[in-house]
Structures are given as C-alpha cells and as structure tokens.
Amino acid sequence: MVDQGTNAAHDRGTDAAPRTFAPAPTPPTTPARRRYTYISLEPLMERVSNHLRTTQYTAIAEEIQRMTRDGELDPVKTSKTNGRTPALFNRYREPVPDFAPPETQREEREEFTWCLTPPISHSYYSNHPERYHAERRYVLQLSDYLKHRADRLARRISLRERCFEIWQFEKCYDEQPFQGERFNARDVLKHCGMTLDDLNVYRTVEPVPAFSLRYSTPQTVLIVENSDTFFSFWSYLSSRPASSLESRPTLFSTPIDSIVYGSGNKVTALGSHFSEALPAYLRCPANRFLYLGDLDDEGIAIFDALRRGLAGTVSIRPFREGYTAMARKARAMRGLGLLMPRMKERQRSGNIDDFLAVFPDDARDEVRRTLAEGRYIPQEILSDDDYAADDAAAAPNTAPAPADTTPTPKEAA
C-alpha cells in the first residue's frame, strides 16, 4: 500500500516551503456621515459680498457658483432659483467641517453614551457631538462631582458656591463664560438635561441698603430712589431724638422709622425677591410704605413698576409730603428765574394722573407745568435745610409709635 502523503512530500522535495494563507481582507470602514448646515440665499450673498468687498450681483453669483463646483456649497434644488441671471438657488447646504479626528469622535461618543454619571443625559450630545467635544472638560467635571461628591447635594447652598465646588469658578453660570470659552455652566447644564433644582441651590439677591431707627412693627418705611437723598435723610434722622414710645423723628412732619435705598431702576425688581432682600421687620405687611424719587416721567414710571411688583405683598404710596416740598421749592425757584433741568429724551412714562392725585393743587400744577416744559424736578432739590425748616414750622411730633410686635432687633430679624 502506497502512503500518498509520503509520496506527495517526496515528490515536492524535502526542502519544500510550508504552505501559507493570505490574510482575510479588512472590511471597508463606513465613512462618518457628513453633517450639513443650511443657509438662505440672502445671508449667503451678504457674506460673499463682504468677503469680495463688492455689491455687484454678477461677481457675487459667480463666486457662489464656484463654491458650488468646488463642493463648498450644495444647492437645495427644491428651493428653486431666484429668477436672476446668473440664476442662484434660494437655499444651500454647507458641509460642517470635522471638529475632531474620526477616532477621537468615536471615543467621545462612547464616553458620553456610557460613562457619564446620572442624572446627566446624553440625548443632546448624541445629536450634537461637536458640542460635547467643546464642552467635554466641563461635562466631565460635573460627572465626576455627581459620582464622587453627590452627598454634597443634600445641603442647599448658593448658586455661586455650588459652581465653585463643581468647576472652581463661582461666576460661570450666567455672569461669565468659562475662561477662554464662549459658553458657560448654564449651557452645560442645559445640554446635560439638568436644571438648578438638580444642584439644590438658591439664588441670592443683592442686599438692599437700609437705615432703621426702630426694629419693631408696624412702622413707616420710606424707599428713596437716589443715593444722595438716601444718605442725607439718614444723616438728618440719625441726628434727631432717638426713636422711643414718646417721640419719633420726622421728615416733612411725617414720622419715618426706616429708609431703604432703591437705587433707581433696580428697585423695580424688589417685588420678585421682596422676602429675600429685606429683613422680616422691614417687609411686614402691617408697615406703611412710602416712595420718593425724581419728579419726571422716568421717576413716575419707576414708582408704577414698583407698585405693581409689590401688589399682593404690601401697599406703597407716593411720599406726598416730600414730593410737595420738592414742587413748592421748584415753584419758588421759578419765581427767581431759576428753571429746572431738562429731562433726557425717550423716557418711559408712568400713570401721571394717578400719581399726582394725592398732591395738593399748587404742587400738582407745578409738576404738570414743569413736565410740559420738558423739565424735571430732581429729589436733590431738597437738602437738610429744607427738612429742618419744614419740621420747625410743624408742631412737635408726640404721636406714640405703633405697638411693637417684635421686642428686639434679634427677634425681628
């Protein structure tokens, strides 16, 4: 019997090379799907016009046609042409350049799909991987915080404090972008499908400067628009007899217990954070709230906005006696040939009729005349000489202070 294997080996020779096999072919790689952005013809022509520094239609159209031939633009043929010569389509697609090498894109897609800590959602980044590439550092900082320091979220702290814990930058939410970037923490949270509730934070408000002679309630609180008048009232009242059950310092014969600085238009936001901006004894609904500002369109509009903002919380009225003193001094100066300053143009206006309804006739007429001339009466028209002269002419105020409901400043706060 013949050994076929041996004979075959003998026929090939003993030094025959071992048999080899060709490697299997590598399967073709599926190219990444190209992404496009759409642009209408008008902004496209404007962009090309600025680039070429010409408004000639023919030159602009030829450049757009060149961009189309070179693959920089892809016409949307269903948008039809503009009817001019050379004809251009009304809409084009622009390929979005790759933001990272394909391997990096693949790794980042796997990362935001599988590696981020809940409650971070990857839905947005799945459709906008270029945004993840740009925001990756800050997303990973948030993910790391949620993974290793989630216990910190049990304690409610301020927004800036939480931002510093996560990103080591306290102003990154809505005040400033991250350093060297065009986005901030608000964008990152939104793209991660999270809100401030997930971070268990509270927003703080800018403290409202206030000066108080008493800390009990009810009391009379005067809100003043401008800083000079606020400090002048403060200085004047603090030099008067101390507040007690028997006597209270007055401004224009009106007992005043506390003064709040409104800071112009800023005071109109007081209604949205009334409970946070003022201590308990100042925001007591039983208090009497008065307002004093410039007698111009803007000043009256500020009062209107403040009154609407505080509606349902407390009631506020114009400081009649203070405004009357301003108007009467302006009338006296008019008699001396001294006119009030002119108003700025394009001021918003408030409800003047309702505002002036509480004024005495002579003061109301002077205010209307001044405004009709395009002028205004600033609250700085008054000084401590006016406060003192007015109070000296009035009978001494001996009205008892309203009954205290909070015996000490500490308890009131």
Encode pLDDT of 53-101 as tens digits: 999 999 999 999 999 998 889 999 999 999 999 999 999 998 877 778 8
- pLDDT for position 23: 55
- pLDDT for position 143: 97
How confident is the model over 365-371, as a mean pLDDT?
Answer: 94
Please tell me whether residues 292 and 391 are part of one structural domain.
Answer: yes
Task: Tell me the pTM.
Answer: 0.58
- pLDDT for position 9: 44
How confident is the model over 341-351, as a mean pLDDT?
Answer: 79
Coil, strand or helix: which one is 231? helix
How confident is the model over 43-53, as a mean pLDDT?
Answer: 91
Of 176, 202, 228, the residue at which a domain comes to its end is 202
Residue 185 domain flag:
yes
Of 163, 178, 202, the residue at which a domain comes to its end is 202
- pLDDT for position 24: 52
CA dist., res. 298 & res. 347, Å (int): 6
Of 182, 202, 222, the residue at which a domain comes to its end is 202
- pLDDT for position 33: 59
| Angle between helix 361-372 and 320-335 (nearest 10) | 60
Encode pLDDT of 253-279 as tens digits: 899 999 999 888 887 777 667 767 888
Residue 17 domain flag:
no
- pLDDT for position 320: 96
Cβ burial of 274 (10 Å; 0-12, 13-18, 19+) is middle
Please tell me whether residues 187 and 217 are part of one structural domain.
Answer: no
- pLDDT for position 412: 42
DSSP state, residue 373: T
Please tell me whether residues 236 and 187 are part of one structural domain.
Answer: no
Residue 63 domain flag:
yes
- pLDDT for position 51: 87
- pLDDT for position 144: 97
Please tell me whether residues 231 and 335 are part of one structural domain.
Answer: yes
Residue 392 domain flag:
yes
107 against 97, higher pLDDT: 107
- pLDDT for position 266: 81
Residue 277 domain flag:
yes
Given a cut of 80, whether residue 149 has pLDDT beyond it is yes
What share of the chain in percent tops pLDDT 90? 59
Number of domains in the chain: 3
Please tell me whether residues 75 and 106 are part of one structural domain.
Answer: no
Whether 199 and 188 have beta carbons less than 8 Å apart is answered as no
Which pLDDT band holds residue 17 (cuts at 50, 70, 90)? low
- pLDDT for position 413: 41
Any residues with CB less than 8 A from the CB of 272 and at least 6 apart, and which? 309
Given a cut of 70, whether residue 244 has pLDDT beyond it is no
- pLDDT for position 30: 44
Given a cut of 70, whether residue 284 has pLDDT beyond it is yes
In 3-state terms, the chain is what percent helix, strand and coil (to 5)? 45, 10, 45
Measured from the Cβ of residue 120, the count of other Cβ atoms closer than 10 Å reads 21
- pLDDT for position 8: 44
Please tell me whether residues 219 and 333 are part of one structural domain.
Answer: yes
Please tell me whether residues 324 and 217 are part of one structural domain.
Answer: yes
Cβ burial of 256 (10 Å; 0-12, 13-18, 19+) is buried
Which pLDDT band holds residue 248 (cuts at 50, 70, 90)? confident
Please tell me whether residues 120 and 137 are part of one structural domain.
Answer: yes
CA dist., res. 150 & res. 194, Å (int): 14
Coil, strand or helix: which one is 174? coil
Residue 10 domain flag:
no
How confident is the model over 102-125, as a mean pLDDT?
Answer: 94
- pLDDT for position 138: 96
Please tell me whether residues 181 and 215 are part of one structural domain.
Answer: no
Residue 175 domain flag:
yes
Residue 158's φ and ψ, nearest 5 degrees, are: -70, 160
How confident is the model over 23-35, as a mean pLDDT?
Answer: 53
Residue 91's φ and ψ, nearest 5 degrees, are: -150, 145
How confident is the model over 302-315, as a mean pLDDT?
Answer: 88
Encode pLDDT of 152-211 as tens digits: 999 999 999 999 999 999 999 988 889 888 889 999 999 999 999 999 998 887 778 899
E-assigned strand segments in 25-103: 36-40, 74-75, 91-95
- pLDDT for position 5: 46
Please tell me whether residues 231 and 192 are part of one structural domain.
Answer: no
How confident is the model over 102-124, as a mean pLDDT?
Answer: 94
Please tell me whether residues 248 and 132 are part of one structural domain.
Answer: no
How confident is the model over 15-30, as a mean pLDDT?
Answer: 51
The whole domain housing 277 covers: 210-412
- pLDDT for position 18: 53
Residue 57 domain flag:
yes
Given a cut of 90, whether residue 141 has pLDDT beyond it is yes
Give the torsion through C-alpha atoms of 107, 111, 112, 113, to 10 deg.
100
- pLDDT for position 312: 82
Please tell me whether residues 220 and 284 are part of one structural domain.
Answer: yes
